[in-house]
Amino acid sequence: MNTTLRKLWQDAKRESGISLIMAIFVGLVLSSVGYVTIHSVIMDSNVAGMHAKTVQAFWLAEAGMERAMRYLRFANPPPGGTAPFTHFDNVALGAGTFTVEIDPDDGNPSTFMKEYVITSTGTVGDVERSIRASVKTVTFGNYAYLTGNEGGTIWFNTNDLLEGPIHTNDKFSITGRPVFKGKVTSVATSFNKGSSYNPDFQDGYQLGVPPVIFPTLQNLIDNYFIENGSSTPALTIDARFNKDASIRFNSDGTLTYSVWKYRWNGSRRYIIHDQVVDINSLNGLLWVKGDVEIEGTFKGQLTVVATDNIYITDDIRYSDSSASGKPPEGSTNTLGLISKENIVVADTWANSSDVVINGALLALGDSFYVENYAYGYPRGTLTIWGSLSQKVRGPVGTFGYGWTTGFQKDYHYDSRLGETPPPYYPSTGQYEVFSWQEIDGE
């Protein structure tokens, strides 16, 4: 083989060797890339699966929390004692389970205002997530305005102003431009709209919500005895059997009450005349059997419960309220007026022009209304600083065709009543969440 051919042969062998080495190198690189790709796909799949489990476990914990809240709402009476208990134990749902523990507050046995800590854990495979909420009972003091029934077609209209949370178990009738400063809720799925319907919902509204259950007088008695025991009876004013009673609040923290019967000539024969009592000595509750007339300047913390009607005969103001009736920040005065029947703004000379009422009002049997509301001339404004709840909505005035009678409404919510309601003020059966957090496993 000549020199030229030998050189070509050597060059060909050298190039073949290099090509083989390159082929092996490329194969190794491609194999590595394939391995990394497959590993990455597997890792991504594992991460996605873990993320799905984490999300599912969280929503299982939420489902357990919702079921625990529903259990508390319908528990009658609320769970007793102070020992934690497991209410749901590994309940299967979807791709996993949930477990719920409820821990009653240590102070529950001595108060009607119950609190609980709920811990709910959702589990999917080897993934757990837990959430914890602290809840407490909601009283009727949490509402600025609440009705069980709207009493037919009674309208909210232009010039009506309401503050705070507002609710009905019925349907609201609205015409013109009333102003609702708080959130409006209703069991109904729509409003009854007048021809000039144009309300101002400043905090929105929600329809189709659950109803609020009204309490009984026995609930109030139970609330009192939970804190005081049966050996500490409340002061009772007996106005039954053709008797009448009155209570006048005094700015010094006392009240004056009287009980009488009417003689044949219309004069009064007093059974109890101007009896003065220190409000602080009443353990927070005054019980009236029968009707009672109430007025005056109030100082203290008290709930007045009447088995019949409460008649408001003049302004009821807190001792530290402004001229318009607004309680100042930091006020400690709280008054509850609860009637088994009606709470009535009486047709008296004092109530013929503007009325101011401080307090939480609750009519269990019927309504809050103005006596003879459809007669006479306009009486000005009915101003409430507090809370108003009634089984059936009662009228306070009429309007239309240039002629009005009774009062325009100016209702303001006293937000203190949500945190510090009047003594023994009844709960609605609802619970408020006042803290919520996700927690690590314990």
Q: What is the DSSP string of 338-357?
A: EESS-EEE---STTSS-EEE
Q: What's the pLDDT at 8?
A: 47
pLDDT score, position 225: 81
Give the residue ranges of the chain where pLDDT is below 70: 1-50, 230-231, 400-403, 441-442
CB 205 within 8 A of CB 183: yes
pLDDT (0 to 100) of residue 432: 83
pLDDT at 287: 93
- The Cα-based distances of 229 to 109, 221, 233 in angstroms read 11, 10, 8
Q: 284 with 301: CB under 8 angstroms?
A: yes
pTM passes above 0.95: no
How many distinct helices (H) and strands (E) make up the chain? 3, 30
**How many whole angstroms separate alpha carbon 158 and alpha carbon 334?**
30
A 10 A CB-CB count for 1 gives 8
Asked if 338 and 306 count as a contact pair (C-beta separation under 8 A), the reply is yes
| Predicted local distance difference test score (pLDDT) of residue 368 | 94
SS3 at position 436: strand
Strands 254-262 and 268-278: antiparallel
In the numeric block, the tokens 């309940």 are attached to: 91
pLDDT at 34: 54
Model pLDDT, residue 251: 96
Q: What is the DSSP string of 2-31?
A: -HHHHHHHHHHHHHHHHHHHHHHHHHHHHH
DSSP state of 375: S
Q: pLDDT digit string (tens) for 25-69? A: 545 545 555 555 555 555 555 556 667 888 898 989 999 999 998
Q: 251: which residues sit within 8 A by CB, 6+ positions away?
A: 297, 299, 319
Q: Cα dihedral sign for 217, 222, 228, 231?
A: positive
Q: How far apart are CA 5 and CA 125, in angstroms?
A: 73
